[in-house]
Chains A and B, each alone.
Chain A
Amino acid sequence: QVQLQESGPGLVKASETLSLTCTVSGGSISSHSWSWIRQAAGKGLEWIGRIYPSGSTNYNPSLKSRVTMSIDTSKNEFSLRLRSVTAADTAVYHCARGLAIFGVVNVSHYFDNWGQGTLVTVSS
């Protein structure tokens, strides 16, 4: 069973950069896609973006201008950087493994393994 564990500072100052790492164990990061998903307190889930072992990325258009994801297959980990954070970026950040289903017309992505999540608070 693949396990994912998020790590990084729990407190970030407004206007600075949020940086998190997800370490994958029990399986190789060299297959599937890997995503970051966040959840503000009392709110729903928001997909941030995904990265493939090749380094190719897809980002949520609403966050694309501030997000960078990277992957280190030698360490079996991937990372998130979110620039210019505000209080609205305060949330629990989850990393997740992504799978893809190829339909007749489109590709559908979903998440079969999740990390427990880490709370990041943006302070003013």
Chain B
Amino acid sequence: SHELTQPPSVSVSPGQTARITCSGEALSNQYVFWYQQKAGQAPLLVIYRDSERPSGIPERFSGSTSGTTVTLTISGVLAEDEADYYCQSTDSSGSSVFGTGSKVTVL
């Protein structure tokens, strides 16, 4: 099955850099997308096609890929970046698959 594994939690001090990984065997052949979900809100697309930012997403959000691991990087973390983050891909049958999710805590 197409499983995407993320660290459950990432803690970072304001102004520092947070890195959230997403790993899965099929990621080398698929684009990955990242969503931010704040408490009580709908998810928000922050990265598409591995590393592109939608309009309105701050430049401190970036994405990168290396083999079967992709990384969401938040540079110069702000308190408002505290949220859950999910990676998402598509498996060979066309099903959308979400990662296990990572809670980013700003200390």
Contact = CB atoms under 8 A, between A and B. Distances in A.
Contacts, number: 73
A44 B101 contact: yes
Contact of B45 (A109, A111, A115): A111
Contact of B95 (A61, A115, A116): A61
Nearest to B37: A45
B91 to A, nearest CB: 9
Nearest to A99: B48
Interface stretch (B9-17, B62-70, B73-81, B82-90): B82-90
Interface in A1-54: 35, 37, 44-47, 50
Contacts of A110: 31, 33, 45, 48, 88, 96
B98 A111 contact: no
Interface string A35-79: 101000000111100100000001011000000000000000000
The range of chain A's interface size is: 20 to 34
The range of chain B's interface size is: 20 to 34
B49 A101 contact: yes
B94 A107 contact: yes
Contacts of B92: 106
A108 B89 contact: yes
B31 A44 contact: no
A61 B98 contact: no
Contact of A47 (B41, B42, B48, B96): B96
A111 B97 CA distance: 12
A116 B19 CA distance: 27
A115 B42 contact: yes
A115 B43 CA distance: 9
Interface of A: 35, 37, 44-47, 50, 58, 60-61, 94, 98, 101, 103, 105-112, 114-117
23 contacts: A37-B98, A44-B98, A44-B100, A45-B43, A45-B98, A47-B96, A47-B98, A50-B96, A60-B95, A61-B93, A101-B48, A103-B30, A108-B30, A108-B90, A109-B94, A109-B96, A110-B45, A110-B48, A110-B88, A111-B43, A112-B45, A115-B42, A116-B41
